[in-house]
Structures are given as C-alpha cells and as structure tokens.
C-alpha cells in the first residue's frame, strides 16, 4: 500500500525540469503522476514513475538531489465530495496531510497523499473501506 514517490530538489532555473524528464526518458521510465511545489528560489518535483528505484539511481548519477518519499494513493469517483471525505477521515484522527495531488482516469480520481503518519493513514482509510491502490498497480498506469 505504500507508494514510493521520487522527490527532487530543483533550483528555479529554466530548463531544469526538462533535464530531469529527458534523463528519465532516455532510460524509458514512464511517469504516472507529476507535481511541482515551488518557492521563489527553489522547487520540489514529485514524481510517481514506473520504476522508482531505477529512476533514483539514474538521477543520482546525474547529480540531482533526489529522495524516495512514502506516500499513499486512493482511488475514488472523481467528485469533490469523495476527496473531502478522505481528508475528513484523516483529519478526524489528527493525521495531517502534508500535501496531496490527484489526477483522473476516466470517471475515477487517483489521489496521492503524503501524511504525517503513513501507517495510521492506511489503517484509517481501510477501515472506512476506501480503495487503496497497490504500488505495483499505480506504477503500471
């Protein structure tokens, strides 16, 4: 249930994102989801890819600062109320969501969540019969 997301430190310089994607593209790494968080001076690129370990090695060799971060993923109908429900389950248990992003596949949303406590979050969502995605399934998309 734990998904390994790539987190990459990037300076806010034009062309840096392109370089990351080119490096991964050359090694046939597929990207399931991508999100960028930025400040005025630097950004964090977050990626769900087909082979996180391999992608990390490739980027490391190219001198990127990269880490694997544990996140979870929930599939739900792509309506706001389901997203709200998921967040409420977590906040009711004082599990904070550090960040989240989502994308749609047909009528379904795939939601990525980074929580203060991953194990507790998984338990809580399972007990509310939420559909947690397996890492292997997510990487395949």
Q: Judged by CB under 8 A, does residue 58 bind another protein? A: no
Q: How many CB atoms lie within 10 A of CB 95?
A: 20
Q: Considering only residues 106 through 135, tell me which ones interact with another protein, judged by CB under 8 A.
A: 114
Question: Do residues 17 and 10 make contact, with C-beta atoms less than 8 angstroms apart?
Answer: yes
Contact 49, 56 (CB under 8 A): no
Applying CB under 8 A, which of residues 1, 2, 10, 34 lies at the interface with another protein? 10
- Of the candidate spans 3-11, 76-84, 102-110, 131-139, the one that interacts with another protein by CB under 8 A turns out to be 3-11
By beta-carbon proximity to another protein, the closer residue of 28 and 40 is 40
| Number of residues counted as binding another protein (CB under 8 A) | 20
Which member of 14, 18, 28, 39 binds another protein (CB under 8 A)? Answer: 39
14 binds another protein (CB under 8 A): no
DSSP state of 133: P
């Amino acid at each position: 249930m734990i998904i390994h997301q790539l987190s990459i430190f990037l300076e806010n310089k034009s062309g840096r994102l392109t370089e990351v994607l080119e490096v991964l593209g050359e090694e046939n790494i597929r990207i399931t989801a991508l999100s960028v968080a930025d400040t005025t001076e630097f950004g964090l690129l977050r990626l769900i890819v087909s082979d996180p370990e391999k992608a990390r090695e490739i980027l490391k060799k190219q001198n990127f600062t990269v880490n694997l971060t544990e996140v979870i993923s929930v599939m739900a109908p792509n309506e706001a109320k389901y997203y709200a429900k998921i967040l409420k389950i977590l906040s009711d248990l004082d599990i904070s969501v550090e960040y989240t992003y989502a994308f749609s596949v047909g009528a379904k949303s795939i939601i990525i969540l980074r929580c203060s406590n991953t194990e507790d979050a998984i338990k809580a969502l399972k007990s509310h019969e939420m559909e947690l995605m397996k890492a292997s399934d997510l990487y395949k998309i």
